[in-house]
Amino acid sequence: MVFDGNVLTEIHHEWVRVFLDGQAVRSGLVSTFEGTGSNDPIIVVGAHWRSNIGNAEDAEARRSRAAEALRGAVARRLEALGPETPVLIMGDFNAEPFARQFDSSLPSSRARDVVLTHEPKDSNDLLFYNPSWRLLGEQHPWTGKGTPTLAGSCRADDKVWKAWRTVDQVLVSGSLLGGSAWALREDTLRVWSHECVFDEANARPRPPFDHLPIVSYLQRA
């Protein structure tokens, strides 16, 4: 995780690691920052979960275990800082927005109003807004004029229907949708397709990359 020390000050971090069948599972890094010269904290999470290379069934179980552990770690930070503390979660989850991990393990919704009206039953009852649903399909509408294909954040295989996948995602707490010093600028959220990382003619990330970056802005009042 890289940040500008002139803008943010890290006040806490935790590497979240758990075990499954006796083997370590890497869940993510949970950091807490404050804006320089202020006391408005924000929890920022970076994650990179297991891919399906090798044993896909085992990888699925490890992603679910990682998601559960991450939710627990975030819940502990919210207990320490207050339930309205904004949370930003981002990473390569090797799972798309509709994957089971974002159903019960690390619950998220595509609908802002559902997240904003969510009433937690306890400190572990978290629900995040996932704006990455917007990035699932073709980024450029077809016009019949050589429109390039960019249909997700990752392209690994041309020979299957799911050649493109949206596994790089951003999740935010309802407090980042208003009501805190920090706010998500959802209008800036996009797959970054600059020519240095994206080969438009061949509709794929430029080697050695198979992922494209997701970029967006947070605004602080």
Q: pLDDT of 29-65, one tens digit each?
A: 999 999 888 889 999 999 999 999 889 999 999 999 9
Length of the chain: 221
Opening angle at CA 138, ends 134 and 143, nearest 5: 125
Indicate the domain borders of the chain.
8-137+163-180
Pair of tokens at residue 121: 């039953």
Output the pTM of the full model. Answer: 0.94
Q: What is the pLDDT of residue 144?
A: 81
Give the confidence band of 109 by pLDDT, cuts at 50, 70, 90: very high
Summary mean pLDDT of the chain: 94
Q: Mean pLDDT lowest for which of 127-136, 156-165, 168-177, 185-194? A: 156-165
Question: What's residue 25's pLDDT?
Answer: 95
Per-residue pLDDT at 158 exceeds 90: no
Beta strands in the chain (DSSP E): 8-20, 23-35, 41-48, 87-92, 108-109, 128-129, 154-155, 164-165, 168-172, 182-191, 198-199, 204-205, 214-220
156-to-52, 89, 116, 137 alpha-carbon distances in Å: 12, 24, 35, 16
Please state, in angstroms and rounded to a whole number, the distance separating the CA atoms of residues 201 and 206. Answer: 11
pLDDT of residue 85: 96
Answer positive or negative: Cα dihedral of 125, 172, 65, 28.
negative
Residue range 72-87, pLDDT digits in tens: 999 999 999 999 999 9
